[in-house]
A and B are shown apart, each in its own frame.
Chain A
């Protein structure tokens, strides 16, 4: 569904991605693991069109996304939930959701308000807080809002950059339950995580990114059998 081929992205002279290739299948949760500085966020930003790649291609459902800007990529069906949420702090929860639907045309107003109702059903806490400024929400609630806002654009694949970062274990459980639920409802998800134990509960396929390269790829069982990964990411031997 989403296929990334030999992607190279650099900041000036420093290559952050040195030829990354991967594939996210339809209806699956694909997870990218990797230490700090591995290039995970760079990869997400390149896929979402915030950074432009030097070489390589990105395609989604046979549409070429390479080098398009963020708004166009969003319109083609790829939505990113950025790390650290990045909600609009002064806008209300409701307005944040509306902002997520900016790519929808004006004629879709009825559909947009329908979608907002669906988000309120999925995330009851957002309904309870619909008129509060998003900056007043807790970290977990902001993560849910960022997720709901990304869904407002009706994406065919959802990219999530470290949804568990900075959240308490209970909230992390909740977020992962939501990810699982979304996937069961048919959403394809590409997930970046450092929390491998959590990721194992939801992901169907894994890639390990290290220093800008994919150093491992495999199913959850293969991941659990890999000694190095076991030691580095799952704790113990």
Chain B
């Protein structure tokens, strides 16, 4: 019974990690870029939401809305400032270092918005559920459903629409896409905006489940997103979702069996193992092998 309970908790948390991983995989899989300022964007969105909360007075839904918009705006800002000017093949490292600088900037803005260390972060009120012996927190169940729906929407957007085909074609071979008149002019902007929206959703879910936000949240979410992507498969969207769920399951089980202090140790041990046994991640091996461009560009 405990195993079942822990697994359900793990899946609930894992679904938010999946969204974090998906944001990273979207940027890496399509743009072949790593955005180090990702966590800082999330922190900025959350800080803006808390800062505006007393002014707007919209409660939990206000936090939800402002967090997502704030993260998306910050993400688009990072793209314009760091990634758009370095979109050529050799710009990968320059863009990553530029994003490091903006990470510092966004962190600083966030701490100006929220001068104290810890701020309460209100969640959406949903009644909790009991299925026999199994307990499910209402808000986490809601988050799980939101995560599933947003993953589904992203899938439909990428695989069932004309824009999605354009995005994937450009990701696959930018030169050929240009030749066919199929290049998306604002591709980077669209991808960073999408990654921002997913990241904002994840930020709201994690913070409202925890009930508070600290300045450490940014770095923490960059780690979780990167780890989910690395476990699942570098650049693979499906892989990022699976990686996030695995990360959630491993963390909660490690916490339940070995104790909370071993949680991160087990997680990093898992990343270590994955990097040794399957350096491309669970789903990413094939992509890495066939995509010589990825190695060239990164």
A residues apposed to B, CB below 8 Å: 48, 50, 70-72, 74-75, 80, 82, 86-91, 95, 98-100, 102-103, 106, 135, 149, 153
Q: What are 6 A-B contacts defined by CB distance under 8 Å?
A: A74-B179, A87-B176, A89-B172, A90-B171, A95-B165, A99-B177
List which B169-224 residues lie within 8 A (CB) of chain A: 169, 171-173, 175-183
Q: Which of B224-264 contact A (CB under 8 A)?
A: none
Give 12 A-B pairs besides A80-B179, A90-B172, A135-B290 with Cβ atoms closer than 8 angstroms.
A50-B179, A70-B179, A71-B181, A74-B181, A75-B181, A86-B176, A86-B179, A88-B168, A88-B169, A88-B176, A89-B290, A103-B180
Contacts of B178 in A (CB 8 A): 50, 70-71
B179 touches A98 (CB 8 A): no
Q: Return the 4 tightest CB-CB contacts between A and B, nearest first.
A: A71-B181, A102-B182, A88-B172, A86-B176
Which residue of the partner chain, among B162, B173, B290, contacts A106 with CB atoms under 8 Å? Answer: B162
- B180 near A74 with CB under 8 A, answer yes
**Among the listed B169, B171, B287, B290, which residue makes an inter-chain contact with A99, where contact means beta carbons less than 8 Å apart?**
B169
* Minimal beta-carbon separation of A174 from chain B (angstroms): 23
Kindly state the separation between the CA atoms of A135 and B291 in the bound complex, as whole angstroms: 10
Indicate if the CB atoms of A91 and B168 lie closer than 8 Å.
yes
Q: Please, how many angstroms separate the alpha-carbon atoms of A163 and B113 in the complex?
A: 61
Q: How far is the CB of A227 from chain B (nearest CB, A)?
A: 39
Once the chains bind, are B180 and A99 in contact (CB under 8 Å)? yes
Q: Which residues of B contact A90 (CB under 8 A)?
A: 168, 171-172, 287, 290
- Quick one: closest B residue to A96, CB to CB? B169
The complex places the Cα of A18 from the Cα of B180 at a distance, in Å, of 27
B84, CB-defined interface residue at 8 Å: no
Number of interface residues of B (CB under 8 A): 20
Q: Are the C-beta atoms of A149 and B168 separated by less than 8 Å? A: no
CB-based contact B173/A88 at 8 Å = yes
| Contacting pair A82 B181 (CB below 8 A) | no
CB distance from B29 to the nearest CB of A (A): 10
Q: Please name the residue on chain B nearest to A45 by beta carbon.
A: B179
Contact A149 B173 (CB under 8 A): no
**Which of chain B's residues has its CB closest to A99's CB?**
B169
Residues from chain A with Cβ under 8 Å of B177 in the complex? 88, 99
Query: How far does the alpha carbon of A128 sit from the alpha carbon of B173 in the complex, in Å?
Result: 24
Residues of chain B within 8 A (CB-CB) of A74 are: 179-181
Complex Cα distance, B297 from A23, in Å, reads: 40
Residue B136 interfacial (CB < 8 Å)? no
* Contact B179 A149, beta carbon cutoff 8 Å: no
- Whether A70 contacts B181 in the complex (CB less than 8 A), given A86-B173, A106-B162, comes out as yes
A103 to B180, CA, bound (A): 8
Q: In angstroms, how far is the closest chain B Cβ from the Cβ of A116?
A: 13
User: Which residues of the partner chain B approach A100 to less than 8 Å between Cβ atoms?
Assistant: 180
B137 → chain A closest CB, angstroms: 39
Smallest Cβ distance from B110 to chain A, in angstroms?
37
Least CB separation from B183: chain A residue: A71
B166 contacts chain A at the CB level, 8 A cutoff: yes
The answer to whether B181 touches A91 (Cβ under 8 A) is no
CA distance A149 to B178 in the complex (A): 14
Chain A residue numbers with a CB within 8 Å of B166 are 102
In the complex with contacts A99-B165, A99-B169, A135-B290, A86-B182 CB distance below 8 A: no
Contacts of A82 in B (CB 8 A): 176, 179
**Alpha-carbon distance A91/B173, docked complex (angstroms):** 10
- Which residues of the other chain, B, contact A80 by a CB distance below 8 angstroms? 179
Residue in A48, A72, A89, A135 whose beta carbon sits within 8 Å of that of B179 in the complex: A48
Question: Are A98 and B165 in touch, CB under 8 angstroms?
Answer: yes
Chain A residue numbers with a CB within 8 Å of B291 are 89
Chain B residues with CB under 8 Å of A99's CB are: 165, 169, 177, 180, 182
Asked if residues B173 and A89 are in contact (CB atoms below 8 Å), the reply is yes
Beta-carbon contacts under 8 Å, B140-172 to A: 162, 165-166, 168-169, 171-172
With contact pairs A88-B172, A89-B172, A95-B165 given, residues A102 and B179 touching in the complex (Cβ less than 8 Å): no
Which chain A residue lies CB-closest to B169?
A: A99
How long is the Cα–Cα vector from A98 to B164 in the complex, in angstroms?
12
* Chain A residues within an 8 Å CB radius of B172: 88-91
State the Cβ distance, B291 to closest chain A Cβ, in Å.
Answer: 8
Measured CA separation A72–B180 after assembly (Å): 10
- Out of A102, A106, A135, which one reaches B180, CB within 8 Å? A102
**How does the 8 Å CB contact mask read for B267-298 relative to A, with 1 for contact and 0 for none?**
00000000000000000000100110000000
CA A30 to CA B215, docked complex, whole Å: 68
- Residue among B165, B183, B287, B291 facing the most chain A CB atoms (10 A cut-off): B165
Q: Least Cβ distance of A77 to chain B in Å?
A: 12
* Complex Cα spacing A95 to B166, Å: 10
User: Judging by beta carbons under 8 Å apart, are B181 and A102 in contact?
Assistant: yes
Complex Cα distance, B162 from A179, in Å, reads 30
